[in-house]
């Protein structure tokens, strides 16, 4: 069963924000998850914005993600900050920060493609 609400980050401001493009904010029965693909990077028991996910490491950066709005079926907004660790940011250019927007829905096709194939098969058999 798909999640009740899910938002996909598709736009960020600030240098380095593209590192979270395609990540998701997923409503769960206990709060919200911040995910990349099927991997949960951070979770919170907050039930409504404004909230900040616990810091997590992703792509050699320590991320802080704050959620300001999560309207049903609309654009969600928030901010991000990324701090490099010694290995991930040897030049010491972090921290970086900016804002993000996310569109409601996963923004990704079914991972195994079966759902689309089944719909095509159903449409073909209906017209036969």
- pLDDT tens profile 35-92: 999 999 999 999 999 999 999 999 888 999 999 999 877 889 999 999 876 555 556 5
Q: What H or E segment, with its residue span, contains residue 39?
A: strand 39-44
- Give the model's pLDDT for residue 74: 85
The overall average pLDDT reported for the chain is 79
Q: Is a pLDDT exceeding 80 seen at residue 124?
A: no
In order of 6, 24, 122, the CA distances from 27 in angstroms are 6, 10, 31
Q: Is a pLDDT exceeding 70 seen at residue 119?
A: no
**Verdict on whether the full-model pTM lies above 0.85:** no
Q: What H or E segment, with its residue span, contains residue 36?
A: strand 32-36
Domain boundaries, the chain: 6-127
| 65 or 93, which is more confident | 65
Residue 20, token pair as written in the block: 């979270």
Q: Is a pLDDT exceeding 80 seen at residue 33?
A: yes
- Give the model's pLDDT for residue 71: 85
Residue 56, token pair as written in the block: 């997590």
Q: Which CATH class is domain 6-127?
A: mainly beta
């Amino acid at each position: 069963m798909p999640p009740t609400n899910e938002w996909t980050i598709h736009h960020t401001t600030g240098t380095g924000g593209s590192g979270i493009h395609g990540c998701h904010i997923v409503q769960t029965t206990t709060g919200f998850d911040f995910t990349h693909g099927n991997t949960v990077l951070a979770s919170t028991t907050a039930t409504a914005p404004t909230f900040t996910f616990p810091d997590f490491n992703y792509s050699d950066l320590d991320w802080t993600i704050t959620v300001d709005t999560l309207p049903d079926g609309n654009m969600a907004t928030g901010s991000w900050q990324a701090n490099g660790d010694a290995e991930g940011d040897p030049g010491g250019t972090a921290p970086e920060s900016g804002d993000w927007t996310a569109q409601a829905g996963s923004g990704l096709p079914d991972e195994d493609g079966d759902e689309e194939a089944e719909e095509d098969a159903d449409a073909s058999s209906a017209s036969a």
